[in-house]
Amino acid sequence: DVVLTQTPPTLSATIGQSVSISCRSSQSLLHSNGNTYLHWLLQRPGQSPQLLIYSVSRLESGVPNRFSGSGSGTDFTLKISGVEAEDLGVYYCVQGTHAPNTFGAGTKLELK
């Protein structure tokens, strides 16, 4: 199975600070059809995960544009440009290029 390694495991930020989360894959996530099935989720405390970004950089409808995604192949990044209080929680990357779908272990974003 594809292993997704997220760093850092924990991130402390102040409101307004910009932060980045890395997701590295054990295999290239470029599918033979040319698509890259790497997505980002946020799980707020006590809630189920919600989709933020799909296919590396496509912002899900309703998600603030302070969230952005980038990367290719095996290296991907989620950036938050100006953390807000509602952004606290655990961020996961998830891949759908190779069966089975696999998730990163998560990055917990907390207030400094």
| Stretch of 7-15, 17-25, 77-85, 98-106 lying at the interface with other proteins (CB under 8 A) | 98-106
Consecutive H or E run containing 111: strand 107-111
- In the chain, the N- to C-terminal Cα span, in Å, equals 35
Strand 102-103 to 89-95 pairing = antiparallel
Residues 62-91 within binding reach of other proteins (CB under 8 A): none
Q: x/- contact string, 27-66, with other proteins (CB under 8 A)?
A: --------x-x-x-x-----xxxxx--xx--x-x------
The CA-CA-CA angle for residues 88, 56, 85, to 5°, reads 15
| Stretch of 11-19, 20-28, 66-74, 96-104 lying at the interface with other proteins (CB under 8 A) | 96-104
Residue 14 or 48 having the CB closest to other proteins? 48
Task: Say how far apart CA 90 and CA 76 lie, in whole Å.
Answer: 17
HSE, side-chain direction, 13 A CA sphere, residue 40:
29
State the residues that interact with other proteins by CB under 8 A. Answer: 35, 37, 39, 41, 47-51, 54-55, 58, 60, 92, 94, 96, 99-106
